Amino acid sequence: MSLPNWFTLRADDSFELGPRLFPGRIWTASGCFAYGLSGHDMTASDLASPYVGLGAVVTKTVTPAPRTGNPMPRLCELPTGAINSIGLENVGFDAFLQDILPQLEKMAVPTVVSLAASRPDEFGEMVQRLYGSAAGYEHWHGVELNLSCPNVAEGGHDFGGDPDTVAKCVAASRPRLPDRALLVKLTPNVADIASLAAAAGHAGADAISAINTVVGLDVDLKTGRPVLPRRFGGYSGPGVLPIALAKVDEIINKAQIPVVGVGGISTAEDALKFFALGAVAVQVGTAQMRDPFAAAELVKELSGQ
């Protein structure tokens, strides 16, 4: 494609985010490329692997203990995206540190680790252990605190919707992550996302990842019941692009903190819209689940190749 004159970046150029130099501006979103280990045996006619040019793979979210996730079915494809209720299924923090993170480093995957917990101090404890295990790793670039998953309600509430609690989660993590980037992933299911972003920034976050999925529901007309056993799920894909753009614009203009744009990116044109608003990088989510080369293809297009 012909890139617009105002777009002077190269998607595969390195850039600074907080204390870290990232190798590129196109990332994969958490949960959409598994832990980042599943694509090394894949090739395409124009790409050696799905990792070519990526700035980061944000891992599947890891929780303190293993999780089996929500009952099946967990994912329903829709004409304009998908609705999911995975329930943060993952191997647990101990297995991630022992088995997965060393493999990511060995395979030179640029990595941001997504973490979820149920208390602010638990985030701090996980970050401290992560740093102790991987402080010398070259390809581990930082942490994304997942404060916004709408499918798991630890303690009966979404603590990522309260500015004070967001600040406490960041404050518990920042001192334990001295030379890696600290990002906070925020929910769009709030009236004032900018106040959450500002709270994260004041507490020490380097950037905001926005947005996470929008709460949604679909109905199976054969049964007359919601398609997901837990009724509600996280809606993602092309249909949320205008919502994501609006929330990113709000954060950039009101909170004065760098933003990594997420939500509805399928094409180079979609990604350019986030960059036009001032995003420093973007993450590819649902499109990456459908095509493991989606993010790498965007790198090619947005680098003028």
**Catalytic machinery residues:** 149
Helix (H, G, I), strand (E, B) or coil at 205: coil
Of 60, 246, 23, 235, the C-alpha closest to 150 is 235
Half-sphere exposure of 186 (CA within 13 A, CB side): 34
- With residue 142 as reference, give the H or E element that holds it: strand 140-146
* DSSP single-letter state for residue 17: E
Q: 10 Å Cβ neighbour count for 269? A: 11
Q: 10 Å Cβ neighbour count for 79? A: 7
CA dihedral 235, 238, 240, 242 (to 10 degrees): 180
